[in-house]
Amino acid sequence: MINKALPGMANDIKNWSRKQDLILFHSHSEKTIGTYYLLDISNKKKPKMEKLLDLAEWIDPNKLSPMKSIQYTARDGLVINGYLTIPKGSDGKNIPLIVHPHGGPSARDYWGWNPDVQFLANRGYAVFQPNFRGSTGYGTKLYTAGFREWGGKMQDDITDGVKYLIKESIADPNRIGIYGASYGGYATMAGLCFTPELYRCGVNYVGVTDIDLILKEYPLPEKFNDAIDAVMIADRKKDKDWIKNRSIQNNIDKVRAPVLMAYGMEDWRVPPKHGRILKRALDKNDIPNKLIIKANEGHGFRNEKNVFEFYREVEAFLAEHMK
């Protein structure tokens, strides 16, 4: 009933009355944060739908860009799903592309509202969000295929997606950038290190750079954390060479593209020392870079002034390096 009334939207039931005759639901899409409605089906012959609240009525969906699901096959035959947003008004051919890997990595991207995606599309970039192996939501096989694959097959999935978009003449092969946060920041730097020929520039937002450091300092009980990490990422005692080879600061000599970085001083997940380690390595190798560190921020900026400053920096950085 709801989907018929609101076609083309994602409609999520949030709550219902004890008698299940009043239903609260959220209707949203990639072009709108959404609206809350109340559906009254106490009279089944004449159900009533009442609009309660627009979450951001000032946003005009007609000005925003469509997001669609895509699917491609990785080099080892694993099917990878993801999302592609094409800037509104574009013909969808040879567009400058921003690859936007998600954090986690035990997480996923969804079809729906994403302010980063719409910000980038508004500036004329297509945005590619791959749900690479290790992502949740696609079954155990895809999820566990990402174990111990930081900088390996997980990164290959991202690379293969970019090559697929180039082959389909969607992405301009000479204008591809990469921008991610947290694990996505690691994937950003891994892309610049391991496939430097693909990317013009990278934005690393609160990203992991030193794998040994994240394994050593992640704030969970030590034995519990070590047991999980040994399965999903690496064993600090047994995999020292692996950790060294996959850590970003040890591969900076391969990087050709400029890097923008941002960290928060109060980030307990990925402390700013990750950014400082990376900056020292970039400076040593004469790679153009800029590091932003904010004293009053954690794992991702929340203060409005800092948020605006960060996105202005991103916009200017991409405008300069994606010409």
Tens of pLDDT, residues 196-228:
999 999 999 999 999 999 988 876 656 666 778
State residue 217's pLDDT score. Answer: 83
Whether 44 and 110 share a structural domain: no
Point out the domain boundary residue: 54, 72, 89.
Answer: 54
Whether 40 and 180 share a structural domain: no
> Per-residue pLDDT tens for 30-64?
999 999 999 999 998 999 999 999 999 999 999 99
Which pair of tokens denotes residue 133?
A: 């192996």
Task: Give the number of domains in the chain.
Answer: 2
Whether 286 and 201 share a structural domain: yes
For residue 117, the domain's CATH number is 3.40.50.1820
Which pair of tokens denotes residue 97?
A: 């592309």
> 59 in a domain, yes or no?
no
Whether 276 and 217 share a structural domain: yes
Whether 276 and 294 share a structural domain: yes
Whether 34 and 138 share a structural domain: no
With beta carbons less than 8 A apart as the criterion, state whether 83 and 97 touch.
Answer: no
Task: Please give the residue range of the domain that contains residue 205.
Answer: 64-321
> 171 in a domain, yes or no?
yes
Whether 202 and 81 share a structural domain: yes
Whether 242 and 152 share a structural domain: yes
Mark the ranges of the chain whose per-residue pLDDT is less than 70: 219-225
State the residue for tokens 């390595």: 281
State residue 222's pLDDT score. Answer: 60
Whether 50 and 132 share a structural domain: no
Q: Given its phi and psi angles, is residue 261 left (phi above 0), alpha (psi -120 to 50 degrees) or beta?
A: beta
Put simply, whether the predicted model's pTM sits higher than 0.75 gets the answer yes
State residue 244's pLDDT score. Answer: 95
State residue 216's pLDDT score. Answer: 87
Whether 237 and 139 share a structural domain: yes
State residue 150's pLDDT score. Answer: 97
Q: Strands 126-131 and 79-85, how do they pair?
A: antiparallel
> 98 in a domain, yes or no?
yes
Whether 8 and 143 share a structural domain: no
Whether 48 and 68 share a structural domain: no
State residue 82's pLDDT score. Answer: 98
With beta carbons less than 8 A apart as the criterion, state whether 86 and 65 touch.
Answer: yes
State residue 231's pLDDT score. Answer: 87
